Amino acid sequence: SYVLTQPPSVSVAPGQTARITCGVNNLGSKSVFWYQQKPGQAPVLVVYDGSDRPSGIPERFSGSNFGNTATLIINRVAAGDEADYYCQVWDNNSDHYVFGTGTKVTVL
C-alpha cells in the first residue's frame, strides 16, 4: 500500500523555522496538500499544490515538493502553531486518497 512517511515529532523554538517532511518514491510528481490539526479540532488545510495557501492562512506557511520529499515550512514559529500536521496526496494507481503518518509539532 501507499505510505507517506512523516517524522513523528518536530520540536522548534519560538521564532525559529519548522520543517516537516513527507516522503515516498517520486512524490515530486504529485500534488501535495498539508493539514494542521489542533487537539479536539477538525483538520484545516494550510498549504496546497505544494506551496499555495488558502485565504486566512499566514504567509509563514509554505511548502516545497521535489524528488521523493515534500516539505511544509513554518517560518517564525509561534505557540499557536503547535499541532499535528498531515500531508496528503491522491494515489492514481488505486484511486485512493492517502494521508501521511502525521507529525506533532512542539513549540519549546
* Interface residues toward other proteins, by CB under 8 A: 1, 31, 33, 35, 37, 41-45, 48, 54, 84, 86, 88, 90, 92, 95-102
Query: Would you say 15 or 54 has its CB closer to other proteins?
Result: 54
Q: How many CB atoms lie under 10 A from the CB of residue 57? A: 17
Shortest Cβ distance from residue 45 to other proteins (Å)? Answer: 5
Cα separation, 7 vs 69, in Å, equals 12
Backbone torsions φ then ψ of 14, nearest 5 degrees: -55, 140
- Please report how close the Cβ of residue 55 comes to other proteins at its closest, in angstroms: 11
- Rounded to 10 degrees, the C-alpha dihedral 87/90/92/93 comes to 60
* Contact assessment for residue 72 and residue 85, using Cβ atoms and an 8 Å cutoff: yes
- In the complex, what is the shortest distance from the CB of residue 33 to other proteins, in angstroms, rounded to a whole number? 4
Q: Which is nearer to other proteins, 9 or 16 (CB)?
A: 9
**Residue with Cβ nearer other proteins (14 or 49):** 49
Smallest distance, other proteins to C-beta of residue 35, A: 7
Measured from the CB atom, the residue of 100 and 107 that comes closer to other proteins is: 100
Report yes or no: 89 and 68 within 8 Å, Cβ to Cβ.
no
